[in-house]
Chain A
Amino acid sequence: QVQLVQSGAEVRKPGASVKVSCKASGYTFTGYFMHWVRQAPGQGLEWMGWINPNSGGTNYAQKFQGRVTMTRDTSISTAYVELSRLRSEDTAVYYCARDWSGDYGEMRDWGQGTVVTVSS
């Protein structure tokens, strides 16, 4: 069965960077776009961007341009999101999600989420 298993919780100080991983299994990793979506405490879902694991191509939400980098390692079927210059507002649960439709938002499979806390 399809599984997306994310890395564990992280705590960072303001100004630092964090890198979260998402290991995929149960399907052909390079066959489906992977989105990253975050959710601040008590808030709604926020789309951050996607990576095409086949080509490595990416597209980021304008809000995160210059601060976010999405990469992948096809040899271990793992996608990554790195966010730099962290601030307290980046405290959130970060999810990876597999899109069945390319990049049109048919996110059928989700990781369990990774809590990132930014605090001095």
Chain B
Amino acid sequence: QSALTQPRSLSGSPGQSVTISCTGTSSDIGGYYYVSWYQQHPGIAPKLIIFDVTKRPSGVPDRFSGSKSGNTASLTISGLQAEDEADYYCCSYAGSYTLVFGGGTKLTVL
């Protein structure tokens, strides 16, 4: 399984919106509705912020939203805040009871 493709870095100013893309294939993102997104701050474990493409766990602000079109999933963060500066990883079910992660995107809040 090849890793999903994410931009290595993105930046935005406070209050702006940013969208992180995650591109896979018809064997993973395109074939299933099981895409999740994780936020990771330096030195600590990842945190689930989106699952099943669009759903948010309780406690995750509605500034975070997910979507999918074809083989590409996207995470949009609106109203960017300083604490959103982190690494973001997408993850997709890839069939045969396996998962695959994206390479990660470092988000900088200017």
Give residues in A with beta carbon < 8 Å to B.
35, 37, 44-47, 50, 59, 61-62, 95, 97, 100-101, 103-108, 110-113
Q: What residues of B have a CB within 8 angstroms of the CB of A100 in the complex?
A: 51
Task: Decide: A105 near B102, CB < 8 A? Known: A44-B3, A45-B46, A62-B1.
Answer: no
6 tightest CB-CB pairs across the interface, nearest first? Answer: A110-B45, A44-B104, A104-B34, A106-B51, A59-B97, A47-B99
Q: In the complex, are the beta carbons of B91 and A47 less than 8 A apart?
A: yes
Contact residues in A for B51 (Cβ distance below 8 Å): 100-101, 105-106
- Selected from A46, A59, A106, the residue in CB contact (under 8 A) with B36 is A106
Q: Contact between B102 and A95 (Cβ–Cβ < 8 Å)?
A: no
Q: Which residue from chain B places its CB closest to the CB of A50 in the assembled complex?
A: B97
B103 close to A44 (CB less than 8 A):
yes
CB neighbors of A among B55-110 (8 A): 57, 87, 89, 91-93, 96-104
Q: What B residues does A47 contact at CB under 8 A?
A: 91, 98-101
Contacts of A97 in B (CB 8 A): 45-46
Question: Is the CB–CB distance between B1 and A105 below 8 Å?
Answer: no
Return the chain B residue nearest A44 by Cβ. B104
- Chain B contact residue count (CB 8 A cutoff): 29
Nearest Cβ distance between residue A101 and chain B, in whole angstroms?
7
Residue of A nearest to B57 (CB): A108
A118 to B51 CA separation, bound complex (whole angstroms): 34
A44-B89, A47-B91, A61-B98 known; A105 vs B104 contact (CB < 8 Å)? no
Complex CA gap A50/B89 in Å reads 19
Residue of B nearest to A46 (CB): B101
Residues of B within 8 A of A104 (CB): 32, 34, 52, 93
Contacts of A46 in B (CB 8 A): 101
Judge whether A105 and B93 touch: CB under 8 Å. yes
In the complex, what's the smallest C-beta–C-beta distance from A6 to chain B, in angstroms?
10
How far apart are the CA atoms of A18 and B103 in the complex, in Å? 25
Chain B, Cβ-Cβ closest to A61: B98
Q: Which of A44, A110, A112 contacts B101 (CB 8 A)?
A: A44
4 further A-B pairs in the complex, CB-CB below 8 A; given A59-B98, A61-B1: A61-B98, A101-B52, A103-B99, A105-B36
